[in-house]
Amino acid sequence: MFRPFVQRCIWPVSLLLGLCVLTFFLSYVAPGDPARIILGSNASPDSVAALRIEMGFDRPLIAQFASFMGEILTGRWGNSWISRQPVLREIGDHLPPTLWLGFFASLYSIGIALLLNAVVFVFPRIGKPLIATLRLGIALPGFVVAVAAALATIRFQAWTGWMADARSGVSFLLPALAVALYPACVMTTLLRDRFSGVLASPFYRAARAGGYSLRELFLRVLLPNSWATLFTAWVNQISLLVFSTIVVEWVFSFRGIGTLLIRSIQGKDLPVLSGIILLNGAFFLIVRTLSREGRGSPGAAPETSTQPLPAHA
């Protein structure tokens, strides 16, 4: 009982460790003097040298890495070089808009995928043109779709005059639609492929011959056999959601993780940057590991065929 659990943990934990090494190298092998970046360009050489010793930038690489790991494990992720706030608090402050956007966008994309596929199931005639149109949309770069959708959303909001309070989750209902549009196209076509597979299967024909109604066929045969596909598709689209979220946050000027990312990159704020990368990686690892465990197939690479779809961003 215990040993298999440990064995299954080795892989994700080692990846997490690899991610730490990666971010460590990102921040410590970077050209330019970190002490100089913190103090600004007109600080005196003496104070720069003093800060370098104080922050330990002069120690050997291994020692620096050890203290870096220690800080990560104890939850003290350093302070932002721009705002001087602790990194975790900085990220926590910017997290709510991004989480709301991601949450609603996930709901939308799953909802749209299910709805469109239900419609195609009931009216098979529209299936071909609809899926062809969606595939056309998938061929476009995700950011163009997100920007176009965001602009359309702004127009719509201005036209209806409906502007909710920026603090409440309701204000993200419409912008999340812009985030969800592209992933929804991808997920709809993936789910359609799965549905076609089920429709061609003997057990579907058996259920039909057995007198199931359309509703029963959908709810009791198609859906239970497609949850795994839908979930995998969602997991693979998360990175795309992150990408679209940044674009949409930029268009709507939300104070989300995307804004923080832009700020920390333009200011070379390495602690915040590595914090974002680490948290992002940890989140992805957890979701991926859970989805793999959920499917019950440990090991690498389940979703691999020549997918005519961009599965990863």
Partner 1 sequence: MSTEPAMRRLSKATRLLVWVVASLALLLLLPIVVGRMSNEDAAYGVRVPDALQPPSASEWFGTDPLGRSQWHRALVGTSVSLRVVAGALLLALPVSLILGATAGVTAGRWPDQIISWFIALLHTVPFFLLVVAVAAIVGPGTKILPWLVGSVIWAPAARLVRTETIRILQGRFVRASLAYGTSPTQVFTRSLFPLTAPPAAVSLFYLVPEIIGIDAILTLFGLGPKPPTPSLGGLVFEGISRWDSAPWLAGGPCLILIILCLGIHFLADRIAEQVNLGST
Can you give the binding site for partner 1, defined by CB under 8 A? 11, 14-15, 18-19, 22, 26-27, 30-31, 136, 138-144, 147, 151, 239-240, 242-243, 246-247, 250-251, 261-262, 265-266, 268, 270, 273, 276-277, 280-281, 284-285, 288, 300-301, 304, 306-313
Helix (H, G, I), strand (E, B) or coil at 219: helix
Give me the least distance between CB of 210 and partner 1, in Å please: 31
What are 273-278's contacts with CB under 8 Å, separation 24+?
273/26, 273/27, 274/23, 274/24, 274/26, 274/27, 275/77, 275/78, 275/87, 275/88, 275/90, 275/91, 276/91, 277/19, 277/22, 277/23, 277/26, 278/19, 278/20, 278/23, 278/72
Residue with Cβ nearer partner 1 (74 or 266): 266
Give me the least distance between CB of 220 and partner 1, in Å please: 30
Residue with Cβ nearer partner 1 (113 or 150): 150
Give me the least distance between CB of 239 and partner 1, in Å please: 4
Residue with Cβ nearer partner 1 (1 or 29): 29
CA–CA distance, 295 with 229 (Å, rounded to integer) = 10
> Which tokens go with 24?
């460590």
Q: In this structure, what DSSP letter does residue 305 have?
A: S
Residue with Cβ nearer partner 1 (83 or 280): 280
Give me the least distance between CB of 20 and partner 1, in Å please: 11
CA–CA distance, 259 with 250 (Å, rounded to integer) = 7
Residue with Cβ nearer partner 1 (48 or 251): 251
Give me the least distance between CB of 252 and partner 1, in Å please: 12
